[in-house]
Amino acid sequence: MVLRGRCRRVVARWVACVVAVGACVVGAGVPASVGDPLPTPSVPVAASPETPVLPGHGVTIRVVVKPNTIKTPDGTYQWSIHMGMAVYGEKSQGEKFAQEDCQFLADTFWSGSAPDYFVKVESMGSFCNLDAYYLGEARHAFYSLDEAGHVQVRAPMTYLTQIVDSFEDASITELQVEFTSINNAHCNAEPWLAHLDAPLPVGHWSYCQWRPDKGDTLPTTDEPLLEGDAEQAFFDFERGTVGPFIDLPAPINPFTITPTPPQAEEPASGATTEAAASESSSASSRGLVIAVGAGAALLLLAAAVGITWARRRTSLNAAHRPESADGRQA
C-alpha cells in the first residue's frame, strides 16, 4: 500500500510522536547537554569521608530512579535501572564546583564494582552528574516482583540521606521515581506529584515526585515508593524478572566502613631472644638464691638442735653424779 499526500504527512507525524515519546520514556533520546566526562573511580573507597564534605559549599541535589535503555560498556543495548544524582554546589563568594570537586564526590560516593553495574561521571558547569546503571538481576536493588505480578519500586534513600548529611549545607530539592509497564499504580509517602497510568504505545508509565519547596517531606528509608501491577510488556520486552529486593550491590557506602584498629608492632627476633635469655637468667639467679637460703636455714636449724641436745645431756649427767663424803658431787 502506498500512502499519498495529506495521509502520508499525518502518519509520519504520528510515527514521529510515538518514537519521541518512546525515546523519552526509555531514556534513548538525545541528552539536552553534554558535559566533560571524568574518570570513574578505579579504587574502592577505603574509609569514611571526613565531614563536612567540601566545607563552605551550599549543595543541592536532584535524584532520579527510572528504567531506560542504555548502551553498555561492551557496546550492547540493555534495559537498565538508572539512578542519577545531579549535584550543584556554590560557595557564598560565588565560587562553583570545579572538576576536582566532582571527581572527589565520585571517588567518595560512587566507587566500587559489581556484576551488571557501571557508572558515568560528568562535570557540567556548576553541576556534577553521578549516574549509575544496573542491569540484569542487579535491577532488583530497586524493584521487586512477586508471583502474583505485583511490583514495588524504591530508591536507596538511607544512603542518599547519609550523603546529604555529610555536607555542611545540603538538601535534596527533587526526588523522582519512575517505572514503566505497570498499571493500577499508586505512590506512597505522599509525593507532591503523582503521574499515574499514563498510556504509552505499549503499556503504561507512572512516576512519583517529591519537592520540599512544595511542602513535601522527603522519604528517608528504603521503603517502596511506587507500586503497581506488571503488564505483559514487562515480560515481552525483558524489562525485568520475578524476584525480591536485594541489597544495593554498588556503589560502596563509605559510611558503613569500619576502621581497622592499628596492630601492635612485634619486637624484632633478636630483641625477643635477648629478652627470653635475660628472663631465663633472672629466673636461674632467683632459683640459686632460694636454694642457698634454704640450705643455710637447714644448717642453722641443725646447729641449734645440736646445741640444745648437748645442753640437755650435760644437765642429765650432772643430776645423776654421786655425792662425796663432804656433800659435794664427785
CA distance 93 to 282: 71
Q: Are 190 and 216 in contact (CB under 8 A)?
A: yes
**Cα 320 vs. chain centroid, distance in angstroms?**
104
CA distance 298 to 185: 100
User: 20, 9, 8, 6: which is closest to 201 by C-alpha?
Assistant: 20
- Distance, CA of 41 to chain centre: 15
Q: Is the peptide bond before 212 cis (omega within 30 degrees of 0)?
A: no
C-alpha gyration radius of the chain: 43
Under 8 Å between Cβ of 86 and 62: yes
Phi, psi of 174 (to 5 degrees): -155, 135
Average pLDDT for consecutive 10-residue bins of the chain (330 residues)?
34 37 41 75 91 95 97 95 96 87 96 95 94 98 98 98 97 98 98 98 97 96 98 93 97 90 60 51 50 51 51 50 47
Say how far apart CA 144 and CA 240 lie, in whole Å.
Answer: 9
What number of residues does the chain have? 330
What distance in Å separates the CA atoms of residue 206 and residue 210, rounded to the nearest whole number? 14
Contacts of 62 (CB under 8 A, 6+ apart): 85, 86, 172, 173, 174, 175
Distance CA 232, CA 196 (A): 18
Q: How far apart are CA 232 and CA 215, in angstroms?
A: 37
pLDDT in tens, 179-211: 999 999 999 999 999 999 999 999 999 999 999
Statement: the pTM of the whole predicted model exceeds 0.75: no
Whole-angstrom distance, CA of residue 118 vs CA of residue 71:
11
> What's the start-to-end Cα distance of the chain, in Å?
169
In SS3 terms, 80-126 reads as EEEEEEEEEEEECCCCECCHHHHHHHHHHHCCCCCCCEEEEEEEECC
Q: What does the pLDDT read at residue 92?
A: 77
- Answer yes or no: are the C-beta atoms of 14 and 6 closer than 8 Å: no
Domain residue spans in the chain?
Answer: 21-252
What residue type is assigned to position 210 of the chain? W
Q: Is the peptide bond before 49 cis (omega within 30 degrees of 0)?
A: no
What DSSP letter does each residue of 53-68 carry, written as one string? EEEEEEEEEEEEEEEE
Q: Each residue of 266-286: pLDDT tens digit?
A: 555 555 555 444 555 554 555
Confidence at residue 303, expressed as pLDDT on a 0 to 100 scale: 52
